[in-house]
Structure 1
């Protein structure tokens, strides 16, 4: 059975009206999928930078603490190490909280004592401003590092 000329013209005009829509659909769907993926990469990059900063700051602070000459200067040395390391990664000291623990003795700079620095860093998510102080859009990253006080400490 043969189609009439009239039905061929209808089919051809229907195909012509769809012309170029694949490009528009590709651009629209590509944008809808690409924007979240790019944001995910940015967010994961910021969190990874925060993880590296927290781990490095805890490690350097613990090392600086156990190498101090006196107990009075040990905390200051650890604090400076934290500030410097966080600044290297673009974070401020206000974004971090640090805790120093000593075991087995409460006197941290005793020979053979282990000093542990625990650091919590709040990494802000990119492109999202904080509404107020009670609801910051940040991810908390934690790191800990331990160093043992040398058995020759104080023998200088």
Structure 2
């Protein structure tokens, strides 16, 4: 009987020492889980925004080249369109270096010809410390392709 009373008193004392620690434990676990989750959401948002920009830039660049007066003028307009598409997503990209155009026929703007466009750039990952540059890649490559047809009834220049 004495042992049971002693055990009850001991458990009551232990319960008193444990009061309030659940809140601290919850906050600790929440921070450990919350910080990586927020970083993952930010990173995926940046990569997805770059993917949307690359896809739209490839399609718009193809349309601009196919409707241009000359191939060189269309290429210049397409490079600006690539820069604008990424600028809309808050990214700075060099349009001429990100855009690659392959022509099916020579000259490129022959009626009925197809243009194959590729837009590619590296997206920097947010909040990567400089000391990890050698161990991990701090960028993600984003690429998009589009195929555009030149109008069959286009007047040849």
TM-score, normalised on structure 1?
0.87
**Structure 1 unaligned regions, length at least 5:** none
Match of 1:100 in 2: 101
Distance 1:106-1:132 versus aligned 2 partners, 3 A rule = farther
Residues matched between the structures, number: 155
Match of 2:66 in 1: 66
CA-CA distance at 1:133 after TM superposition:
8.9
**Structure 2 unaligned regions, length at least 5:** none
Give the whole-Å Cα distance in 2 for the aligned partners of 1:129 and 1:14. 44
Give the whole-Å Cα distance in 1 for the aligned partners of 2:2 and 2:133. 75
Post-superposition Cα deviations, 1:41-72, rounded to whole Å, max 9, x if no partner, equal 11111111000010011111111000001223
Match of 2:86 in 1: 86
CA-CA distance at 1:94 after TM superposition:
3.3
Distance 1:87-1:130 versus aligned 2 partners, 3 A rule = farther
Match of 1:43 in 2: 43
RMSD between aligned residues: 2.5
SS in 2 for 1:117: strand
SS in 1 for 2:94: helix
Match of 2:8 in 1: 8
TM-score, normalised on structure 2?
0.86
Match of 1:152 in 2: 153
Give the whole-Å Cα distance in 2 for the aligned partners of 1:132 and 1:25. 31
Post-superposition Cα deviations, 1:69-100, rounded to whole Å, max 9, x if no partner, equal 12231211211211221211112223862210
Instruction: State whether residues 120 and 141 of structure 2, in contact with CA within 8 Å, keep that contact through their aligned partners in structure 1.
Output: yes
Bigger share in helix:
2
Give the whole-Å Cα distance in 1 for the aligned partners of 2:133 and 2:72. 34
